[in-house]
Amino acid sequence: MSARSLIIAAVIVAGVALTHQIRPLNVLAYSLLALLVVSYVWSRFSVRGLRLQRHVRARRVQAGETLEEHLILHNASLAPRYWLQVQDHSTLPGHAASRVVDLAPGETRSWSVHTVCRRRGEYFLGPASLVGADPLGLFSARRRVGQATRLLVYPQTVALLDLTFPFATEQGGRRQRPGWQQTTPDAVDTREYTPGDPWRRIHWKTTARLAKLMVKEFDDDPAADVWLFLDLEARVQQGVGEESTLEYGVKAAASLAKHFLDRNQRVGLVASARRQLVLPADRGDRQLWKVLEELAVAQADGDTPLSEVLLAEGHCCRGRAVALIITPSLEEEWVATLRTLRPQGVRAAAILLEPATFGGSEPSLLLIGALAAAEVPLLLVKQGDDLSLALRGNGHPGVVE
């Protein structure tokens, strides 16, 4: 019987008892009223005196990895808790942390949840709701516990061990012999001064600390900086979910960034979403986490054409840098923009996410011809391709030079 039905029954019994002055009905009416009050109060206290703790090993994981969360529920009251529901409100798909538990006074229950993170993005673990009821199930009470914890799932990366795509491993110049006099933007160490070292290379702080002349040593690796241009204009995207140009493009950008950063090259990122992102070129693990963090939440919600993005940000690729353009766009305007940037020293190669294979209707032949005429190396990536093979460009039928 539900609480509403019991309340109606109590009212009817009380009305009949008062009208006909039947003593047993008076007793029954008072008993029903007392039962309702006790059940209601019991339900209110059923979610009090409880503490829920949540512990997660890492708040940043990569797609394909398993997230482990440990939950601990403690009953600090002197009353038992029966059929207590722990309802989890996490947004991570497949994260089944909800439970129904019984707790004796002072008892603690714990359980672990293992969830495979299948898709990149920003998610939240928690909060949770505790739902209790009286023994008869007439009334229930709910209490929200804990706070939402941010979880970031990085895009998955694939290994590109033998990458031979044009410009991918190109050096910006010949390696200089030890002791060369030219400086670069990267000072990597200091050493003791030797006759012939330029005075402008003296590191005065280290000199003062060691009480002897010390000079800066510069990185003499002329490897080209790599700038990744990820096209996130909404209008040119094709496909749905994991089999979309958006997800293929994000995965390609993440894999290429990791490949070049593992080679100690400087990598920058330009993404043309609604909030246009320009991540300055840098090297090292910290730069990799920055790139992956931006790509984890990237959405194809931009309204700026790729040609305009290249025109606005192409200056980043001057000098020894090279631009790798990842796009499903078949518009030839961005190829024309690359032509205008070439006198400024911009070298480029394109990775075309062939839209026809993702559900698009337009063929890519005209764009391929325009890229060939502009002497821009091209790599075609089709839906269903294994990116670990497709991005290498090693004998791949989609490579056009």
CB 110 within 8 A of CB 128: no
Q: What is the mean pLDDT of residues 235-254?
A: 96
Q: What is the pLDDT of residues 338-370, one digit of tens each?
A: 998 888 778 899 999 999 999 998 999 999 999
Stated as kind and residue range, the H or E segment containing 62 is strand 60-62
Instruction: Say yes or no to pLDDT of 236 above 50.
Output: yes
pLDDT at 356: 95
Instruction: Say yes or no to pLDDT of 223 above 80.
Output: no
Q: Measured between alpha carbons, how far is 151 from 123 in angstroms, rounded to an integer?
A: 5
Angle at 161 between CA 156 and CA 162, to 5 degrees: 130
Class of domain 50-154: mainly beta
Instruction: Say yes or no to pLDDT of 281 above 90.
Output: yes
pLDDT at 189: 65
Task: Kindly state the percentage of the chain with pLDDT values over 90.
Answer: 57
Q: What is the pLDDT of residues 194-221, one digit of tens each?
A: 777 777 778 888 888 888 888 876 554 4
pLDDT at 165: 60
The amino acid sitting at 311 is: L
Q: What is the mean pLDDT of residues 293-308?
A: 96
Q: What is the pLDDT of residues 26-46, one digit of tens each?
A: 777 778 788 888 888 888 899
Q: Which CATH number is 226-400 given?
A: 3.40.50.410
Instruction: Say yes or no to pLDDT of 327 above 90.
Output: yes
Q: What is the pTM of this model?
A: 0.78
The set of residues, in sequence order, having a beta carbon less than 8 Å from that of 62 and lying 6+ positions away, is: 117, 153, 154, 155, 156, 157, 292
The token pair at 38 is 């006790």
**Could you tell me the residue ranges of all domains in the chain?**
50-154, 190-218, 226-400
